[in-house]
Amino acid sequence: MMRENHVAPTDLIAPLFVQTGENIREPIASLPGQNRFSPDTSAKEALELWNLGIPAVILFGIPDSKDAIGTSATDPNGPVPRTIREIKRLAPEVCVIADVCACEYTDHGHCGILHGETVDNDATLELLGRVAVAYARAGCDMVAPSDMMDGRVAAIRGALDAAGCAMTPIMSYAAKFAGAFYGPFRDAAGSAPSFGDRRSYQMDISNRREALREMALDTEEGADALIIKPGLFCLDLVRDARERFDLPLCVYNVSSEYAMIKAAGQIGWINEKQLIDETLISFKRAGADLIITYHAREWAEAI
């Protein structure tokens, strides 16, 4: 009765790693309990999540081929568009969100097109627009750009509208920090940069005001929802954002946060189940509406 915050399965978005093929359900070593799926098994997973009360998934593609300019990211028969169509066939009510980025599709692993050794922000915008259109045409319910190029929300909005996809909303990774937070994800998706790091486009973890500027810019450019990432390291920003912006606010409980709990749980150093509960409620207390989390399925099963 006195409890101020609650977590419900309807708050959760489950990440899914997808590749082409059939009947694939391959465990991911760096993310115990998570799998790489093919389009058919992704759809089954999405339906099972739906039956547990989890309304949404976010898709990350592992393509068959990579090149310097991320050509496979726009392939209408790539793993993400195929999976969108499969999920919509088997479980049409599931909200399918597609992460939009180049890093899984470039052979150098950076989130955009290179000019020399640096990412060319403006050349990347056009690619991101085409990727978003490919996913929208495949039937996804929302696109989520995670590349952190400046101006990409406006560019993607323009590309979607021009392609007749005006009804596809954008949930932008508005404040996303560079660092070691995404290591297990990059193992899972094969998207680690082959040289350098992402500090020319992702933010410095020291900066709070800059995060608010980034969120304000994405809001002005037409974002329909904002993501803050990593989650547990940024609860102050979740609270700041809750007070400043009216858009739906999503927090990404990232791969390293998940992996730390799993590792400590496996060796019996923590009460894993309780810590997962406390992690998720902390996001709600900070002010998040939605939580992208690898814990989604196990948490919903446990309740």
Catalytic residues: 176, 229
Q: What angle do CA 144, 149, 155 make, to 5 degrees?
A: 70
CB of 3 to ligand PBG, least distance (A): 28
The count of residues interacting with ligand PBG (CB under 6 A) is: 11
Phi and psi, residue 6, nearest 5°: -135, 150
Of the residues 18, 43, 54, 111, which one makes contact with ligand PBG according to CB under 6 A: 111
Please tell me whether residue 13 adopts helix, strand or coil conformation. Answer: strand
Contact of 107 with 194, CB cutoff 8 Å: yes
Residue placing its CB nearer to ligand PBG in the complex, 40 or 230: 230
Please tell me whether residue 166 adopts helix, strand or coil conformation. Answer: coil
d(CA 131, CA 135) in angstroms, rounded, equals: 6
Of the residues 182, 245, 283, 299, which one makes contact with ligand PBG according to CB under 6 A: 182
Contact of 99 with 59, CB cutoff 8 Å: yes
231 to 260, contacts with ligand PBG by CB under 6 A? 254-255
Residue type, 217: L
Task: Please state whether beta strands 249-253 and 290-293 pair in parallel, antiparallel, or not at all (unpaired).
Answer: parallel
CB of 217 to ligand PBG, least distance (A): 18
Residue placing its CB nearer to ligand PBG in the complex, 40 or 211: 211
Sole window of 63-71, 97-105, 219-227, 270-278 interacting with ligand PBG (rule: CB under 6 A): 97-105
Sole window of 2-10, 39-47, 99-107, 240-248 interacting with ligand PBG (rule: CB under 6 A): 99-107
Q: Tokens at residue 179, please?
A: 């660092």
d(CA 34, CA 160) in angstroms, rounded, equals: 32
Please tell me whether residue 103 binds ligand PBG under the rule CB under 6 A. Answer: yes
The contact pattern for ligand PBG, residues 136-165, with x = CB under 6 A and - = no contact, is ----------x-------------------
Q: Tokens at residue 1, please?
A: 């009765």
Phi and psi, residue 221, nearest 5°: -75, -10
Please tell me whether residue 17 binds ligand PBG under the rule CB under 6 A. Answer: no
Sole window of 122-130, 182-190, 207-215, 281-289 interacting with ligand PBG (rule: CB under 6 A): 182-190
Q: How many of the other CB atoms lie within 10 Å of CB of 48?
A: 15
Contact of 211 with 237, CB cutoff 8 Å: yes
Sole window of 79-87, 98-106, 119-127, 160-168 interacting with ligand PBG (rule: CB under 6 A): 98-106
d(CA 35, CA 298) in angstroms, rounded, equals: 13
Please tell me whether residue 291 binds ligand PBG under the rule CB under 6 A. Answer: no
Q: How many of the other CB atoms lie within 10 Å of CB of 40?
A: 18
Query: How does 277-302 read in b/e, with b if 16+ C-beta sit within 10 Å?
Result: bebbebbbebbbebbbbbbbbebbee
Residue placing its CB nearer to ligand PBG in the complex, 90 or 95: 95
CB of 182 to ligand PBG, least distance (A): 3
Of the residues 186, 239, 242, 273, which one makes contact with ligand PBG according to CB under 6 A: 186
The contact pattern for ligand PBG, residues 22-41, with x = CB under 6 A and - = no contact, is --------------------
CB of 268 to ligand PBG, least distance (A): 25
Residues that bind ligand PBG (CB under 6 A): 99, 101, 103, 111, 146, 181-182, 185-186, 254-255
